[in-house]
Amino acid sequence: MGSTQLILREQDVVKLACEFLENRDMNIAQIALERESGVINGGLSDDVVFLRQLILDGQWEDCLEFIQPLSQLSSFDINTFQFIIIKHKYLELLCIKNEISDEGHETAVEEVVNLLKQLEPLCPTKEEYSGLCLLLTLPKLTDSPDYRHWNPIKARLNCFKLILPLVENLLTGEKQKDSTGSSSLVATNDRLLQLIIKGILYESCVDFCQQKATQSRNNSIEFTTVLHSSDFNDSDLSLLSWLQEL
């Protein structure tokens, strides 16, 4: 008979944690975990991963330069790509312009105005362009209801999500491989939380079976919690004996 092995890889656990954090907008912690572990939760090609890193580092000009070879393809919407990238660069500059010293403030304002000029022909609607211009009149970017909870890390992640559909099918180079040589799997559908719930249900059923097998006074199932230890952690009673007693 062939042997069966249970394989548990630490990088997969990191992916579970990254998905959990991203689903709850804990983006600063997510990016810190990615950088420390070198693992991201995505089956992306190396080129897309590189573009993602450029965006997360705020290297907007490098993003535009990197994508230039795709501009010759009719299937690539370069105007939308440029709009998304330049818009996020504009928002970040708005965020920091009031923190710049007086010497650099005038230069920052000039750059903001220049970015607005670049955005005008790229904006999908005149209303959206007017909204971007209005942001320039606010003391702080976060004074706008649309950007009340804005922060650079979250904005850069959202930026990548917006441009991913534009480039995913065009930057189709080699994908990241795991230690077995297979394409990396991706954690989805709140997988970490699913496993925790299943683990609690299993542990609670084990406790109940052991209580029945040892004729404990408590004959009802009581669910454990994530941080609560099982009453029978050190027990070596076999599952067969519990089922026979039941």
pTM for the structure as a whole:
0.82
Question: 190 is written with which tokens?
Answer: 């709140």
Tokens 């220049």 — which residue? Answer: 114
9, β-bridge pairs: none
The percentage of residues in the chain with a pLDDT greater than 70, rounded to a whole number, is 82
What is the spatial distance between Cα 238 and Cα 85, in angstroms, rounded to a whole number? Answer: 60
175, β-bridge pairs: 45
According to the model, what pLDDT value does residue 180 have?
Answer: 47
Give buried/exposed letters for 159-193 (b at 16+ CB in 10 A, else e): bbebbbebbeeebeeebeeeeeeeebeebeeebbe
Is the Cβ–Cβ distance between 56 and 156 less than 8 Å? yes
Count of C-beta atoms within a 10 Å radius of residue 91:
19
Give buried/exposed letters for 7-45 (b at 16+ CB in 10 A, else e): eeeeebebbbbbbbbbeeebbeebbebbeeeebbbbebb
Q: What is the dihedral of CA 108, 112, 117, 118, to 10 degrees?
A: 100
pLDDT digit string (tens) for the chain, length 246 residues: 567 777 888 999 999 999 999 999 999 999 999 999 999 998 899 999 999 999 999 999 999 999 999 999 999 999 999 999 999 999 999 988 766 655 556 777 889 999 999 999 999 999 999 999 999 888 889 899 999 989 999 999 999 999 999 999 999 877 765 544 445 689 999 999 999 998 888 888 877 777 777 766 666 777 777 777 666 555 555 555 555 555
What is the spatial distance between Cα 131 and Cα 122, in angstroms, rounded to a whole number? Answer: 14
Distances 8 to 101, 124, 227 between C-alpha atoms, Å: 52, 47, 22
